[in-house]
Structure 1
Amino acid sequence: MDPLQIDPNLETCPAFDTDIYQIIKTALINDPNSPNITNEEEAIQQLRNTWTAENEARKTRWEQQQEAEREEAAQRRQEAEEADRLQKEEEKKKTEEQKKEKEKTRIPIRPIPSSRGIQRLQDRLHPYAKKKLVARKFFPLWYCLPEASYEATEYERNLTEDTGFSLVKNLDTTYAVKAIDAAKPSPRAKPDKSLSWAEILEAKTVFLTNMPLGDYPPDHIRMFSQFYVNMETHHLLRTLRGKSAFVRYHAKVRWDWYETNEAGNTYNLVIINEDILRDCLNEVESEAMETTMSR
C-alpha cells in the first residue's frame, strides 16, 4: 500500500449538498440495495457517513505511518550516533597509538631528586662494544677501558644529531658531510693478550656491568663474574710471571668460549684448566728467556 502524502486531519468533508454530487445522490436514492435512502437528505447523510469513515481510516493509517517514520528516523539517528561514536573511538585509539609510538622514541623524564647533584660523569661504552654485547659476540676487552670510553665520547661529539653523518674538514678548510659507522672497530684497540693484568681487572667491571645489554641469562653473568674471581684468587697469580700467564690464559679462554658457544657446544668458564694455564705460563717464561738471551 502506497504511503499517504497528505495528512487526513487537514481534509474537510465535501459539500455533498451541492449540485455537483446530484448524480451520486440520485443513484443512491434509486439503488435497490439502499432501501433506507429514499430522499436527498438521506443520500447526503450517507455520503457524509461514508467519507467520515474513510477519513477516520486514513487518519489511523496516517498515525501508523507517522509512527513508523518516527521510529525509522530514530533508528537512523541511533545508527548515525553509533557510527559517530565508533569513529570517535577509532580516532581516539589511533591518536593514543600514535602517542605511544611517539613516546617510544623519547627518553622518559625521571623524577628530580631534591638533594642529590651529579657525582661523576658517566662512562660512555664504546659503540662497537655495545654492538657486540647486544649480539652476544666476542670483542676485545680494551673497549671497556677508559681509553675506549674517552674515544666514544669524542666520537659522539662529532656526530650530527639523528643523522649518522659526521663533518669532515677538507684540505681547503671546507667541510663535507661523510657517512659513518658508529659501531666500527677502533684502530687503537688492543687484543686481550696485549693488555696488562691491571687493565683486565679494570675493564672486566665495565664488561660485567653491561652484559644485560645482550640479555645474558643471570647464570652466564655469574659465570663470567666468578671466572674473574677465580683467576684473581688463583695461587699462580702471585708468582713471578703469574699475571702474564693469566693475561695469556684469559685471552685464549675468553675468545674460545665465545667461539665454542656460537658453535653450539660451550663449557663452564669458572673451572680453571690447569693444563692450559701451565702452557700459558711456559709460553711467557720461554718468551722472557728469549728476550733475556737476545740482549
Structure 2
Amino acid sequence: MADPSLEVCPDFAGDLYAAIRTDLVNATGTTHEAVAERLRDAWTTGHEARILEWNRQREEEAQAEAEIEQARAVREEEERIAREAEAEKDRFDAEKKKPKMNGFNATVTVGDAIAPRPSQYAIQKLNNFEYVELWYFSPDGCKEAMKTSRSIADDTFSLAKLDDQLTIRPASAFKASRSALPDHELPFSIFLRAKNLFLMQANAAKWPQTHLDALALFFWHLENHSIRNNSELGDLVILHYASRVRLDWHDRLKRDEGFNIGIINESLLRSINEEIWDRVRSRTLTASNNAEQTSAQQQHRKTSYRDSSDPKRRPSRSRSPSQTDNHKKADGFPTPDKGKNREQRNKGFSRGAGSRGRSACAICLGHFAHNIQQCDSSNLWDKTTPAHSCRTQDGRIISTNGLPLCYRWQRPGGCTAENHDSAHICSGCGKKDHGAQTCPRGEKA
C-alpha cells in the first residue's frame, strides 16, 4: 500500500470528469460546480481515512519492530551474560586447579620438633577416609617414604577416578609398600608410636572430629586394658583386636553401618585371646614333640653306635645252640628273657627314668599305682587340694589357665630343650624352678 499522504486530489471540474458531472447534474438537478465540489469532498474524506489507516498500520509495524528489537536485545544480553558467566567459570576452574601458595606469619618461627612424614600413599588413603596400616606411620614406614620420595620421578603420574571423573595424580599416591606390615605384626611399642602420628595426620586430613575422638578413645582403652598386665600374650591380643576392629570399622562406614569404635567389645577380645592361646599351645606342643623326637633319635643313634663298636656286645655269628645256652658264662650277660623284658617295659611305663620307684603323676602328683598317662583328676593325690593342671581330649597337659605345659619337664629326667621355656612350669603348683617329680605338693614316695 502506497502512502496516501502523497496522493493529489483529481480535478473534478476539468474536462476529464465532464461526462460524470453531466450525468450527476441530470440525476440531481444541480450545477456542474456543485457536483465537482461534492466529488472533491468525497475524495478528501476517503483520502483522510486512508491516511489514518496508513498511519495506524505504520504504528503497528513500528511497535512490532520495536518488540522484535527489544527481544533481540534481551536475547543478546542473555547471551552476553551467559558468555561472561562461562568465562568466569573457566577462570574460576583454572584458578582452582592452579597451585596456590599460602601466606605466612612473619613473626612465627619453625617449631622445636618436626613430625615424621608418612608416604604419599598413606596420606592419600587418609584424604579418602580409607583404611591404611599403621606401619606407614611407624619410624620404618616414614624412613622408607623419605627414600622412595627421592627415587620416584616428579613427572610420573597415574589416572584416578574422583567424583565420576578421571584425574591425574602422582604415581606415588597409589604405590603401596612391599615392606608394610599388618597392625598385629608390629611390636607393641611401635604400634603406640605409629597410632600417635596416624591421629595427627588424620586430623590434618580433616577427618570429622567425632571420628577422631572415637579413634583416640579406642587406642587409649587398648593401651590401658588390664589384659596387658594379666596375660603373657596381652599385647599380642590387643594388636590383633586393633587390627581386625579398625579394618571392620572402615568397611562398615562405607556401607553406612558405622559403630562406635571407642567402645571395646570384651567378648570379642576374649575370643581373640582364646584363639591366640590355642595357636601358642599348638605350636609349643609341636615344638616339644619335635624336640623329643629329635632327642630320642639322637639317643638311639648313640646307643646303636656304642653297641656296634663294642666287641663284647656283638653277637657271635658262629655260636652254636649250646654256646647260646651258656651265653652267661661266655660274655657275662644273661640270656634275655622275652617275657621278663616285656614285664619290665610295662613297669617302666609308669615308673619314670629314676630308680626310686614309681614316678609322680603329672596331674595328681601321686606315686600310687594308677595309669599316669590317662590321669585326669581334678584334685591332687590327697583328694582335697585342687589340681593345678588338667589333660585335654588329645592327651596334652595344660594349666588351669590354659597354658600348655611340657610333659618331659614333669618327668624325672626333665627337659633340656630351650625353644619352649615358657612351658617349663610345674604341673603341680605352677612354679618354674622344678617339675612334678620334686614338687612340694607331691605324695611322698
CA contact (8 A) 1:138 1:255 kept: no
Number of residue pairs matched by the alignment: 267
- Alpha-carbon offset, residue 180 of structure 1: 5.0
For residue 16 of structure 1, the aligned residue among 7, 12, 28 is: 12
Matched, 1:50 2:42: yes
1:132-171 correspondence runs (5 A): 132-133=125-126, 138-156=131-149, 158-161=152-155, 163-164=157-158
Deviations 1:99-151 (A, max 9, x none): 44444434555444332355476754324324544565543311112443344
Distance across 1 between alignment mates of 2:114 and 2:155: 21
TM-score, L = length of structure 1: 0.70
Q: Which has the larger radius of gyration?
A: 2
For residue 84 of structure 1, the aligned residue among 40, 58, 76 is: 76
Which consecutive residues of structure 1, in runs of 5 or more, have no partner in the other structure?
166-178
Deviations 1:223-260 (A, max 9, x none): 32123223444567579x97x842x2343112221454
CA contact (8 A) 1:227 1:270 kept: yes
Cα separation, partners in 2 of 1:109 and 1:190, compared to 1, 3 Å: same
For residue 22 of structure 2, the aligned residue among 7, 23, 26 is: 26
Cα separation, partners in 2 of 1:213 and 1:8, compared to 1, 3 Å: same
Residue identity opposite 1:80 in structure 2 = R
Determine which structure has greater relative contact order: mean sequence separation of CA pairs < 8 Å that are 6+ residues apart, divided by chain length: 1
For residue 64 of structure 1, the aligned residue among 51, 56, 60 is: 56
Q: Which moved more, 1:271-280 or 1:97-106?
A: 271-280
Residue in 1 that maps onto 2:242: 254
- Alpha-carbon offset, residue 64 of structure 1: 0.9
Cα separation, partners in 2 of 1:117 and 1:80, compared to 1, 3 Å: farther
Distance across 2 between alignment mates of 1:105 and 1:113: 25
Distance across 1 between alignment mates of 2:14 and 2:241: 125
Residue in 1 that maps onto 2:215: 224
Residue identity opposite 1:140 in structure 2 = E
- Determine helix, strand or coil for the equivalent of 2:81: helix
CA contact (8 A) 2:120 2:172 kept: no
Residue in 2 that maps onto 1:95: 87
Residue identity opposite 1:254 in structure 2 = A
User: Pairwise CA RMSD of aligned residues?
Assistant: 4.1
Residue in 1 that maps onto 2:194: 203
Cα separation, partners in 2 of 1:87 and 1:266, compared to 1, 3 Å: closer
Cα separation, partners in 2 of 1:95 and 1:107, compared to 1, 3 Å: same
Cα separation, partners in 2 of 1:279 and 1:201, compared to 1, 3 Å: same
- Determine helix, strand or coil for the equivalent of 2:12: coil
Cα separation, partners in 2 of 1:101 and 1:209, compared to 1, 3 Å: same
Distance across 1 between alignment mates of 2:224 and 2:243: 21
Matched, 1:185 2:173: no
Cα separation, partners in 2 of 1:137 and 1:72, compared to 1, 3 Å: closer
- Alpha-carbon offset, residue 271 of structure 1: 3.1
Residue in 1 that maps onto 2:264: 271
- Determine helix, strand or coil for the equivalent of 2:108: coil
TM-score, L = length of structure 2: 0.49
Residue identity opposite 1:38 in structure 2 = T
Distance across 2 between alignment mates of 1:164 and 1:152: 18
Deviations 1:45-74 (A, max 9, x none): 222112111111111111111211121111
Residue identity opposite 1:82 in structure 2 = V
Residue identity opposite 1:17 in structure 2 = A
Distance across 1 between alignment mates of 2:260 and 2:239: 16
Distance across 2 between alignment mates of 1:93 and 1:87: 10
- Determine helix, strand or coil for the equivalent of 2:136: helix
Which consecutive residues of structure 2, in runs of 5 or more, have no partner in the other structure?
160-169, 288-417, 423-445
Cα separation, partners in 2 of 1:50 and 1:112, compared to 1, 3 Å: farther
Q: From the two aligned structures, give the one with the greater helix fraction.
A: 1
Deviations 1:194-218 (A, max 9, x none): 4333322221122223346888664
CA contact (8 A) 2:184 2:243 kept: no
Q: Which moved more, 1:262-271 or 1:222-231?
A: 262-271
